[in-house]
Structure formats: structure tokens, C-alpha cells
Amino acid sequence: MWRVNHQKCGLFFGPAAAILQIAHPRIAQGVADHSNFEYDTLGRLNRTLAATNRIAFGTIEEAEAIREKLRHLHRGVKGEVSSGMEGAPKYTALEPDLLLWVLATLIMAALQGYEMVYGSLPAERKECFYREMREFGTYFGLDEGYGPADMKAFGEYYETMLRGDLLGSHPLCRQLAMAIVSPKDSRGAKMLGDRIRFLSIETLPAGVRERLGFRSTAFTRGSMWALRKTSRLTFSRLPKKVRCFPEAIQREERESGICSNFTAG
């Protein structure tokens, strides 16, 4: 997990992960009811990254503190679903199906970003990564025994979700997805959204993308093609402070003997 997650290449697929999360109607409902999502997109991203990286690279004490904070936060995220939304009339952030889907998007974003830059990981390393990410998921309240037992079963689960009719099936999903692609919170967020809009569009599976109202164009496809071509050549040559998450660098500084193994390959 350290090897795959210590560099920021997973952020190439981060917008798609965020969109896929709120493409699940019940997750979209919780986000809409309990956050200022449309006007705090960058803030939410920064808080999510800080929490996940402190769990992955921080001390046991830091990770446990975040576990307790998330447990308290998730207990308060509950309410009633909107009209036309499938499933039980009331939702809670602690529903294991929702926790599993959020973790699934993080797993896929990390793997897809890493492999875009460094090439395919061997099957045994993917399996190891999946097992460690399932342990990571316990800090968000997801039991390790819930859902797919291995990487093969996980891949089948993920593809089934993408091919199904659930994701993007409610208008609220489209509303929040548009907020990710076109942020409203600040001029900087809007400029960033404009520059990476092609990334949000082209890293989404086609069926979900169309359901959410996004359109692939010659420009977005060309921009993504150029990124794929250049990222493998340039990303690994970026300065370490640009390429790696600060929490990973801090961990390396604390335990250089262990974290020397962070190098890709």
C-alpha cells in the first residue's frame, strides 16, 4: 500500500473516484445533506487526503485518532432519501455497501494512476495491495470480511457496479457531479476545474459518464491521450516534494530504512 499510495499519481484518477462515489444515489444524498460540497470541493479533497494519508503513513496513535473522529462523524450522517431513490427510505453513512463502494473507488484510482505512470503491477502485488487496503478500510468502519474476499472477486464486483443501472440513476448524482467538474467555491478551484475537466470526463467509465450528462469530445480524448503519453516520461522525474505526499515524506524521514522501499518498480 505504501508503494502504490505514497506518490500523487493516484490523483490522476481522483476526480473520477469522487464522481463515482457520489454517482451512488445514497452517498450523494448523504453528501448533499451533510456538507457544503458544491462550495467546498477543494476543502473536502484536502481533508480527505489528509485523513487517508495520516492513516496510511502516520503513527498508530494518529491513525486511531482519525478512526475515532470518523466514527463520530459517520454516526451523524443519516437521514431520509429523496423521492425516486431506490432502497430503504432512510440512509446512514455506516451502511456497509456504501463504505465498500467508497473504498472501491479509492482502490481503483490508486491502481489506475500508479499503472498509468509505472506500468502494470504483477497480480501478486495487486493482491497484496487489495488485502492492505481492506485493512485500511477498517479505519472508515468497513469490516474486512464484508464484500469481495480477494482481488479477482473485487474486480468482478467493481465491473458489476459500473455495468449496472444504479450509478447516476438519480438527478442528485448529476447535480453533485457537475459541482466536482465545475467547482463554485473559489476562483482557484474554478480555474483548476477548467484545466482538468478533460481528466474528470475521460477517466470515467463511458456508461456512468453519459448517465451523468458528460460528453467525451475530440479535445478531451486528445488531452487524455497526451497526458498518458507524457506522464510516464515526466512524472517520475518531478522533485520528490512535488511527486510525493507530505505524509509519506515525513514517514520516510522518520523511518528511512523502511521507506527506502517506496521507490516504484
Task: Write down the domain spans for the chain.
Answer: 2-262
CA distance 105 to 78: 21
CA distance 101 to 146: 11
Question: How far, CA to CA in Å, does 4 sit from each of 218, 235, 248, 249?
Answer: 31, 14, 11, 14
Q: Are 81 and 89 in contact (CB under 8 A)?
A: yes
Residue 145's pLDDT is what?
Answer: 94
Q: Are 138 and 131 in contact (CB under 8 A)?
A: no
Residue 228, CB half-sphere, CA atoms under 13 Å: how many? Answer: 15
Task: Kindly report the number of other CB atoms within 10 A of residue 129's CB atom.
Answer: 21
Hey, what's the cell of 3?
Answer: 508503494
CA distance 82 to 79: 10
Residues 6+ apart with CB under 8 A from 140: 70, 74, 99, 102, 103
Residue 162 amino acid letter: L
Q: Any idea which residue has 522501499 for its cell?
A: 261
Residue 82's pLDDT is what?
Answer: 95
Report which secondary-structure segment, H or E, holds 90: strand 90-92
Mean pLDDT (10-residue bins), the chain, 265 residues: 92 92 96 80 76 90 92 91 92 96 96 95 96 95 96 97 95 92 69 78 94 94 94 91 91 68 50
